[in-house]
Amino acid sequence: MKEKIEQLIAQMTLDEKLGQLTQEFLTDSRMEEMEEKAEKGELGSLILANSAMAGANEQEKLQLSKLNKIQRAAVEKSRLGIPVINGRDIIHGSRTVFPIPLAQTATWDYELIRDAAAVMAEEASKEGVHWTFAPMLDVCCDPRWGRIIECSGEDPLLGCLFAKASVQGIQGNDMSKPGKLAACAKHFIGYGASSGGRDKDAAEWSDYSLRNRALPAFRAAVDAGVATVMSSFNEISGQPATASKYHLTDILRHELGFEGFVISDWDAVLRLKCQGVSEDDETSAALAINAGVDMDMVDCVYKNNIKSAIEKGLVSIERVNDAVRRVLKVKFELGLFENPYFDEDVSPQQIMTCENIQKAKEVSEHSMVLLKNNGILPLKKGEKTVAVMGPYAEEKEALMGSWHAGGRKEDVVSLAEGVTALNGADKTVSYPCCAEDMWIHSGLSDTYIVALGESHHITGEGTTMVNIELSAGQIDCAKRAKEMGKKVIAVIFAGRPLGLESLLPWCDAVLWAWHGGTACGTAAAEIIFGDFNPCGKLPVTFPRSTGQIPIQYNHQRNELGLRWYYEQAHYVARNTASTPLFEFGYGLSYTEFEYSDFGFRVNEKENVAEISCKIRNTGEFDGWEIAECYVNDVVASAARPVKELKAFEKVFIPKGGTKDVVFRLTKNDLSFYDIRGNWVFEPGDFVIEIGKSCKDICFAERKYISLKR
């Protein structure tokens, strides 16, 4: 491969090289223009989207025959026959839509996340896509930010889980194989800390925090072999990420060893002028390519300015060749030179198969989090009439979330449909609103399933919300039902964590169903009627109110050592509790799990700290349990968080059964970046905890640990 790449580079004109570093957006109206550019060898990549908000609005159906026509122009008519690579935002599903990434992370399940990624890649590969702009790996603890739904929450370790599983699912071990795509770890780096949760606002990161909180997931993606990385819009403490050589080259390439290519975000190079680091496009092009951005997304700033930048000595031809080398390497690894065309004879049934829908249901079931249950759940199927009501009772589109690509609402199962399928049409009444309808139907049932949530249109890119409280009208649905003497089960379909404190008193049970995808209504109904025992645990904190934001379980300690997240601290909050409504790692089950027989030892031979326990299922239902292991580095050369998730085990335990669990912490697990950016392990005392959540701790011991260097 290397020889072929060097031979191509040796033959390429500068225009052809700049063509390889340019991604253009494709719509029907631009087909001919793109075909011409491809024929001239000046089109390296297409993004199959008419705007950066592609995931949130209808996309025209791009015909495979037309995509093949453009590819034929590139491969068979251009001088060097370099194929075009088609990118698209396949974030959590192509035709079969899976739960949003934040929900998938709530499964704490590598296999399920990997399988979801594999299905979406397999479907997208039949629909004209070679490369997806996923996984999104921004760490975030601010639910005002609409894009929190796309990430894996506030914890670095879960971010690593999501990164590894997603890259493996999307690329497999050989991304030239059928059904595999190139993945893209995004947005490098720090986007999730946009000030005030305002999308694309500046992000204030110390290098210490950035390295210890935002970087781990990207390291995991690079270690998993991710083919590409996307530079982010945000500024990091004065440096726009897209113009930051420190982040895109020194850290990403030299420290992490990334060997793929970097693409900018949509128009991000063009926007450097807006961020005040460039007067003109030529300077912007030079800043970005010298920082480490190889391909320029849709603004054509590279194509139009790099030639003059080279003439002025602002950019070297060696850097251009390096960027082209990286792009060609991915195209070879994708097998595009051998198999550049799509099979046009693919039916919709061959894309959204029953197996894919079944997998989406499984992921959705494992992602849902039971927040409250006074014993009313599970219901018995067909035992009594239930009323399904509320603004999301019959909702379909919102359940697909904001980046649902080729998903179609007609394929989605609503909650009302899911409940009817299990409880029987004769025992289920549903109506999509609340208020007056309730009184009309009030005699029909003593059990109301109240479907609440948020629109997918206010989640995702460009959707900052200045408050996250559930609307009064929605709370009123549950309140009225309770005041009528009904049993109230709230099912909430949302992307970001919402403020639920005012809702809880009116509910006997609350199931957090997320924007759970095509099979979400079925999954929620199966949980309600006990066909599946809920096991999801929160990957992000649920604040009591907007005023608590930002709030995260792994917060830094302070000069008073206040653990305000864990115990009430009036110093921290005068007019409300300082603790969150629901903590990181929280989630209920229909059964009970009892932890016992704790053990701790340092295994000198294997140079690991081993923490063990037994978990017994003492309840009436088989179920999955996620056991969590937290560590607090008591004294270090830099202030470490009050605690950090360092390991977890998800185990299935039949009722009455017992499972042995062992957590193995390596030196690496206990290391951190010190304030000079060195990766260090410092022997000393660590408090080791085992818990059902970050607050519900079953075992805690302070131990001196000194693993061999």
Closest distance of CB 47 from ligand GLC, Å: 6
Closest contact distance (angstroms) between CB of 133 and ligand GLC is 3
Q: Which of 362, 404, 367 shows the shortest CA–CA distance to 511? A: 367
Structure-block tokens of residue 277: 């680091």
Q: Which two tokens stand for residue 139?
A: 């760490």
The minimum distance between CB 244 and ligand GLC, in angstroms, equals 17
Binding segment for ligand GLC (CB under 6 A), chosen from 48-56, 355-363, 625-633, 697-705, is: 48-56
Q: Of the two residues 241 and 371, which places its CB atom closer to ligand GLC in the complex? A: 241
The residue among 192, 172, 190, 260 whose CA lies nearest residue 222 is 260
**CA dist., res. 164 & res. 553, Å (int):** 23
C-alpha distance from residue 268 to each of 294, 301, 348, 377 (Å): 13, 10, 35, 49
| Smallest distance from ligand GLC to CB 202, Å | 16
Smallest gap from Cβ 330 to ligand GLC, in A, equals 16
Of 54 and 300, which CB lies nearer to ligand GLC in the complex structure? 54
Identity of the residue, 187 or 366, whose beta carbon is nearer to ligand GLC in the bound complex: 187
Element (H, E) at 39: helix 31-39
Q: By the 8 A CB rule, do 300 and 327 touch?
A: no
Decide whether 302 or 392 has the Cβ nearer to ligand GLC: 302
CB 706 within 8 A of CB 609: no
Stretch that binds ligand GLC, among 47-55, 387-395, 550-558, 700-708 (CB under 6 A): 47-55
CB of 147 to ligand GLC, least distance (A): 8
Task: Tell whether residue 396 is a contact of ligand GLC (CB under 6 A).
Answer: no
Can you tell me the distance from the alpha carbon of 223 to that of 257, in angstroms, rounded to the nearest whole number?
8
Strands of 22-25's sheet in order across: 131-132, 85-88, 45-47, 22-25, 296-297
Give the contact letters, 84-113, x = binds to ligand GLC (CB under 6 A), - = no. Answer: -----x------------------------
- To the nearest whole angstrom, how small is the minimum distance from the Cβ of residue 88 to ligand GLC? 8
Q: Compare residues 61 and 570 and give the one whose CB is closer to ligand GLC.
A: 61
297 versus 613: smaller Cβ distance to ligand GLC: 297
Q: What gap in Å lies between CA 616 and CA 496, rounded to an integer?
A: 33
Query: Residue 632: what are its φ and ψ, rounded to 5°?
Result: -120, 120
Q: Whose CA is closest to 179, among 136, 227, 120, 135?
A: 120
- Convert residues 455-494 into a mask of x (bound to ligand GLC by CB under 6 A) and - (unbound): ------x---------------------------------
Nearer to ligand GLC, 133 or 553 (CB): 133
Q: Give the nearer residue to ligand GLC in terms of CB position, either 89 or 669.
A: 89
Kindly provide the b/e burial profile for residues 458-483, where b requires at least 16 CB atoms within 10 angstroms of the residue's own CB: bbbbebbbeebbbeeebbebbbbbbe
Mark the segment that binds ligand GLC (CB under 6 A) among 46-54, 286-294, 494-502, 620-628. 46-54
Sign, CA torsion 276/281/283/289: positive
Per CB under 6 A, 49 contacts ligand GLC: yes
Shortest approach of ligand GLC to residue 192 CB, angstroms?
12
Residue found under tokens 């949760």: 197
The binding track of 167-186 with respect to ligand GLC, each residue x by CB under 6 A or -, is -------------------x
**Residues 554 to 593 in contact with ligand GLC, rule: CB under 6 A:** none
CA–CA separation, 706 and 600 (whole Å): 14
Which of positions 115-134 make contact with ligand GLC (CB under 6 A)? 133
Is residue 348 reached through a cis peptide bond, with omega within 30 degrees of 0 on the bond before it? no
> Which of 625, 517, 550 has the alpha carbon at shortest distance from 154?
550
Considering only CA atoms, which of 655, 662, 687 is closest in space to residue 597?
Answer: 662
Would you give the end-to-end CA distance of the chain in angstroms?
Answer: 39
Which of 90, 285 has the CB closer to ligand GLC? Answer: 90
Task: Write down the least CB distance from residue 163 to ligand GLC, Å.
Answer: 15
Contact 606, 595 (CB under 8 A): no
Q: How far is the CB of 221 from ligand GLC (least distance, A)?
A: 15
Return all residues near 249 (Cβ < 8 A) that are at least 6 apart.
291, 292
Site string for ligand GLC, 1-40 (x = CB under 6 A): ----------------------------------------
Q: Which of 54, 70, 429, 507 binds ligand GLC (CB under 6 A)?
A: 54
Give 112 or 203: the residue with its C-beta nearer to ligand GLC.
Answer: 203
Q: What is the CA radius of gyration of the chain?
A: 26
In the bound state with ligand GLC, the residue whose beta carbon lies nearer, of 461 and 649, is: 461
Q: Give 250-259's long-range contacts (Cβ < 8 A, gap of 24+).
A: 251/189, 251/215, 252/188, 252/218, 252/222, 252/292, 253/292, 256/218, 256/219, 256/222, 257/222, 258/222, 258/226, 258/229, 259/326, 259/329
Q: Which is nearer to ligand GLC, 260 or 623 (CB)?
A: 260
Pick the closest to residue 525 from 496, 489, 498, 497 (CA basis): 489
Residue 459 Cβ vs ligand GLC, minimum distance, rounded to whole Å: 14
d(CA 313, CA 315): 5
> From the CB of 51, what's the least distance to ligand GLC, in Å?
8
Q: Which stretch binds ligand GLC (CB under 6 A): 49-57, 358-366, 421-429, 444-452?
A: 49-57
Binding status of residue 199 toward ligand GLC by CB under 6 A: no
Q: What does the per-residue mask of binding to ligand GLC show for 407-446, with x meaning CB under 6 A? A: ----------------------------------------
Of 35 and 265, CB closest to ligand GLC? 265
- Give the number of residues in contact with ligand GLC, rule: CB under 6 A: 9
Q: Of 251-280, which residues contact ligand GLC (CB under 6 A)?
A: 265-266
Nearer to ligand GLC, 261 or 663 (CB): 261
Question: Is residue 293 classed exposed, middle or buried when 0-12, 13-18 and 19+ CB atoms within 10 A define those classes?
Answer: buried
Contact flags string 213-252 toward ligand GLC, x per CB under 6 A: ----------------------------------------
Which residue, 52 or 320, is less far from ligand GLC as judged by CB?
Answer: 52
Alpha-helix runs per DSSP H in 84-129:
101-105, 110-125
By C-beta, is 188 or 582 nearer to ligand GLC? 188
Say how far apart CA 162 and CA 170 lie, in whole Å: 12
Nearer to ligand GLC, 90 or 477 (CB): 90
Residue 186 or 404: which CB sits closer to ligand GLC? 186
Tell which one of 8, 26, 43, 52 touches ligand GLC (CB under 6 A): 52
| Rounded distance between C-alpha atoms, residue 382 and residue 380, angstroms | 6
Of 403, 433, 432, 423, which is closest to residue 517 (Cα–Cα)? 403
DSSP structure class, residue 272: G
Residue 89: CB minimum distance to ligand GLC, A = 5
Burial tier of 178 (Cβ tally within 10 Å: 0-12, 13-18, 19+): exposed
> What is the contact surface with ligand GLC in residues (CB under 6 A)?
49, 52, 54, 89, 133, 186, 265-266, 461
